[in-house]
Each structure stands twice: as structure tokens, then as C-alpha cells.
Amino acid sequence: MSKKLLLANANVPGIRGFEVYRREGGYRSVEKALKMQPAEIVEEVKKSGLRGRGGAGFPAGLKWSFIAKPEGIPRHLVVNADESEPGTFKDRYLMEFIPHILIEGMIVSSFALGCNVSYIYIRGEYAWIPDILEEAIEEARKNGFLGKNILGTGYDCEIYVQRGGGAYICGEETALIESLEGKRGNPRIKPPFPAVKGLWERPTVVNNVETIAAVVPIINDGGEEYAKIGIGKSTGTKLISACGNINKPGVYEIDMTISVEEFIFSDDYCGGIPNGKRLKACIPGGSSVPILPANLLLTTAKGEKRLMNYESLADGGFATGSMMGSGGFIVLDEDQCVVRHTMSLAHFYHHESCGQCSPCREGTGWMERILKKIEYGKGELKDIDLLWDIQRKIEGNTICPLGDAAAWPVAAAIRHFRDEFEWHVLNPEESQKRNYGLAHYADPIHVPVTA
């Protein structure tokens, strides 16, 4: 099993509460950080090699160093807890069962960034978790770790929880900021970037829950020690949300040196595929990243075992690789229909498009409509090429990455499983029989095209 940094105390009874968390070494990083200079903390995060755990994988320390520092202008840290990516639930686990590790990481990060007021923006569907976070915040305040003059150092910090309305688009940092300001969650055109003009046009850093939680072991043990875990530019540990056709779904903390094969089939992790079924494919980083068939999932284009890290999963580009993404690891066995799964994802992205950009607003609807035609045995072979053409014209042509997130699954499904699309077209009666009774996708020909 991999070394655990974030989940080491996950099974300790009462770890959700301040007293037990403190007894197990909690808030040591705050005590240490407040004796350091903010620039020293940023440097430790840089040394650690920590990359953003929300999907993009951008170096966290480098992102922090971009924050503008105009005289007399407040700065803000915003934690992105809008975990809306289908297949991803690791941040929910941290917030629900170990909330103080997030609060501790936020205090250290806020001090490093020169922020006195910080926010947690949490997705609306996580209706029960804000109460857990607010209880943890109040416990931290009562024990002198939040509020005025923290631990007598003269540093003031407050943390507030803001519930979102339940929109996938608010996982994009500028849409999140718009929503936090009380507006409709539409992404902003960049530049200016949030580090210069973010929340209320003030310098702002937006980081994912897991990213901020990882600051705790980095400060406790030092950036260089953290960087010794993992391999190459994939340093430290990574939380993986594993689901789909596996025996042991759940949240796992890995050190990114293990192979994909070990992760799926080892009893230490996913425990293999139920009922002796064969592995067909996997979406390794949340619904927006390209699906990979079993042969490309387990082995890179170079013939090496594919590892559970940023570089190895991306090896070969989208032709033969995928992405680590948010760590939403979705396994499909031999009985799963790739066309149906792609149709389901297209429905999701069509529904979640904010409608600001016409390629995404119109294109996601067209893709959903065509996929439904094909899945329900009413498609033509030319529809497959049309689908490919539409996704190609969406990718890279929108303000935010939602267009890419909608296009990549469709492109990868056609690239690797074109035979399945053709089967649906060439066997319409069988396709219709298989889908009989799925009322929520009825009448695919008359699906509305616009968002």
C-alpha cells in the first residue's frame, strides 16, 4: 500500500472533531507556518512539486507566485469544492470525514498568500457538508486558530462557506468567482486572470480542496521530503475516486508510482472486476478525459506499463493516452456499451453548458441528438463522421474548458470504439430491442438542439 499523507488518520474514531484531530497532530503546520515568512511557505510548496489536484495539474507554488500584491488591496484564497465532475468524489470524502485538514491547509495557504478572508465554494448537491465545514471552522476559531490575532502572532484570518446552486460550470474558476459574487456563473474572458483581478476585482488564488489539504504535510515534513514521494513531476500522493465495474469502489490515496494494472486488480485497491468479467475500457480522470480501451490503458505506446500519474497516463497524447484529470477513475467491463455511456455524458454536458459560447451551446446539443439516434438504432454511418466533425469544431473554440470536456469523450469513443458505433447503425433492430423501456431517453429524434 502507498504511504498515506491525507488519509492517514481517516479511520481514527472522532477524527472529524477538533480534539481528536489535534491529538493526532492536527494544526502543527499552522504553528510552524506562522513562524515562517510567507515567501518561505510559497517556496516550500514550489519545492514539493505539488500540482493542482482539481484536474489541470498546474504547479501550485507557481500559481501562488503569480498573485498580484498591490498596496492596500485585499487578496483572497478561494477553495474550489464544486466537485461536479462525474466519477469524482474524493473532495467530498475529505470534507465529510476529515474537515479540519482542509481548514488547516487554508490557514497556512491564506497566510502565505497574504489573505485575511478566504472562502470555500461548495457545490449545491453536497447539501449536508457545509454544516460539517462550518462546525469545524467554529471549532478552529474557539481554539485560537481562526479570527483575530491567531496564536498571538498578529495574523487575522476568517473562512466562510458559500453554497453553490449546483452548476457544473462553476467548477471553472472564473465562473466560480462570478457565482461567489452573486452573479450568474458564466466564465470570464481571460486575461485578466484571477491572480490579478479575481473576486471583487481583487487578487485571488483558486485551488481545489485536495490541493489545499496537501499543503499540511508539505509544511509539516518539508517540500523536499514531499517531493521524494512519487516519480518525476508527479510528486506526493494523489487521491483517486474509483468506481464502475470494480469489486472495491472508494477513495484511495496512491503515490503515483503504481501501475494502472495494479490499481485495478490488486486487493489493496480496486480488487479486480466482478463476476470474472474482462476489462474493456476505463475513463481514468473523470468524465471529461478521453476513454482508453484495455490494451492502451494498461500499456503505453512505448510498450511500458502505464502508471497512475500525470505523465504516464498522458503518454502518446490523445491518440493512445488520456489524462490524470481530477482522479475520477471509472472502470468498464466487457458488457458495457461505449456508445450508451458516451450518450449519457453528452447529455450531461449539454445540460450543464452555460450557453455563453455558441460552439458549446449548440454543439453539445447536436452531439447528444446524434448519439441518441445512433444508440437507438436510428442512425446512419454518415452520422459518425458528422459527430466527429462537430466535436472537432467545439474543442478549443470556447471561453472555458467545458467545450473541450464535452468534445474529448466523444472523440476518444469514436477513435477507439468506432466498431461499436457502426454496430448500432448496421443492427438497428437489435439496438432498439436492447434499449426498450429506457423512457428517459425516449424519442431521440426530437431531442431539443439548443441549451
Sequence spans of domains, the chain: 18-228, 234-333, 338-446
Q: What's the pLDDT band for 435 if we cut at 50, 70, 90?
A: low
Cβ–Cβ < 8 Å for 168, 402? yes
Class of domain 234-333: alpha beta
Residue whose C-alpha is closest to residue 175's, from 166, 167, 187: 187
Local confidence band at 439 (pLDDT 50, 70, 90 cut-offs):
very low
Decide: 218 and 45 in contact? Cβ < 8 Å.
yes
- 33 has pLDDT over 50: yes
For 439, counting Cβ atoms within 10 Å of its Cβ (0-12 exposed, 13-18 middle, 19+ buried), the class is: exposed
Identify the CA nearest to 284 among candidates 309, 248, 302, 255: 309
**Structure confidence by residue, pLDDT tens digits, 272-317:** 999 999 999 999 999 999 999 999 999 987 888 999 999 999 998 8
Q: Is the pLDDT of residue 446 over 50?
A: no
CATH number of 18-228: 3.40.50.11540
Q: What is the pLDDT of residue 126?
A: 94
Predicted confidence (pLDDT) per residue in 76-125, tens digit? 999 999 999 999 999 999 999 999 999 999 999 999 999 999 999 999 99
In this structure, which amino acid lies at residue 324?
Answer: M
pLDDT at 441: 40
Cis peptide before 293 (omega within 30 of 0): no
Instruction: Evaluate the CA torsion angle 19, 25, 26, 27 in order and state its sign.
Output: positive
Q: Are 195 and 203 in contact (CB under 8 A)?
A: yes
Average pLDDT over residues 132-151: 97
Residue 321 has pLDDT above 50, yes or no: yes
CATH level 3 topology of 338-446 = de novo design (two linked rop proteins) (1.20.1440)
The string of pLDDT tens digits covering residues 325-363 is: 999 999 999 999 999 999 999 999 999 999 999 999 999
Q: What's the pLDDT tens digit per position in 169-215?
A: 999 999 999 999 999 999 999 999 999 999 999 999 999 999 999 99
**Burial letters for 140-173: b for 16+ Cβ neighbours within 10 Å, e otherwise?**
bbeeebbeeebeeeebebebebebbeebbbbbbb
Mean pLDDT rounded to a whole number for the chain: 92
Q: Report pLDDT for 1.
A: 58
